[in-house]
Amino acid sequence: MELNVLNIKGSETGRKVTLNDQIFGIEPNDHAIYLDVKQYLANQRQGTHKSKERSEVAGSTKKIKRQKGTGGARAGAITSPLFVGGGRIFGPRPRNYGFKLNKKIKMLARKSALAYKVKEQNIVVLEDFSFDVPKTREMVAISNNLKISDKKSLFVLPAENKNIYLSSRNLQDVSVVTASELTTYQILNAKTIVILEGSVEKIEEVFKL
């Protein structure tokens, strides 16, 4: 598939890039996407939740009433989960929610997400650009020129560029990522994927599996 290369003013440069069908033209695998997004979101969880059980709650462990003859249920201590202020039964404990996922499945998921964006015609190829100093208004101008200012957009760079990152940091609907760090969640979370011309070859190198 061929796409026109646009400049930062939103005009066609006259050049075209060919997207590799083995990456951008595959039949999407929904289950692979599900697993990769599930792992990504699981890894974002801190897992530091904790509640006190009866052995950890401050309070006397003295038996508060006799075993029989009161007409009520047996009670061993004021820290029992049955009383207000007592411990919690089977409460949450710190844990790691992450899980292992095969590398080929992760690559398949990324390719599938990109294939969906191609089918939806939500991929734009932009000529390589850079800023001498961070300027948010320049990034806003590019989004306006590409007519994506009202959509969530993801700019895929061939390599880390601090000035572009800092220029987009204060923009709510603009994200920046390098081709080697592209994730399935980021692709699906953005309405439009803006791939810099130099990133096309980099994506092919990274997703060659």
The string of pLDDT tens digits covering residues 25-65 is 999 999 999 999 999 999 999 999 999 999 999 999 899 99
The more confidently predicted of residues 163 and 209 is 163
Predicted local confidence at residue 209, as pLDDT: 55
Q: What is the mean pLDDT of residues 13-28?
A: 91
Q: Where are the domains of the chain?
A: 2-46+99-206, 51-91
DSSP assignment of the chain, as one string?
Answer: -EEEEE-TTS-EEEEEEEPPHHHHSSPP-HHHHHHHHHHHHHHH---------TTTS-S--S--S-SSSSSS-----TTSTTSTT-PPTT------------HHHHHHHHHHHHHHHHHTT-EEEE-----SS--HHHHHHHHHHTT-TTS-EEEEESS--HHHHHHHTT-TTEEEEEGGG--HHHHHH-SEEEEEHHHHHHHHHHT--
Q: What is the mean pLDDT of residues 164-170?
A: 94
Rama region for 85: left / alpha / beta (φ>0; ψ in -120 to 50; rest): left
With a cut of 80, say whether residue 208 has pLDDT above it. Answer: no
CB 153, CB 173: distance < 8 Å = yes
Predicted local confidence at residue 61, as pLDDT: 87
Strand partners, 22: none
Q: Which CATH number applies to 2-46+99-206: 1.10.1240.10, 1.20.140.10, 3.40.1370.10, 1.10.760.10?
A: 3.40.1370.10
Tokens of 142: 């590019």
Tokens of 69: 């003859």
Predicted local confidence at residue 2, as pLDDT: 87
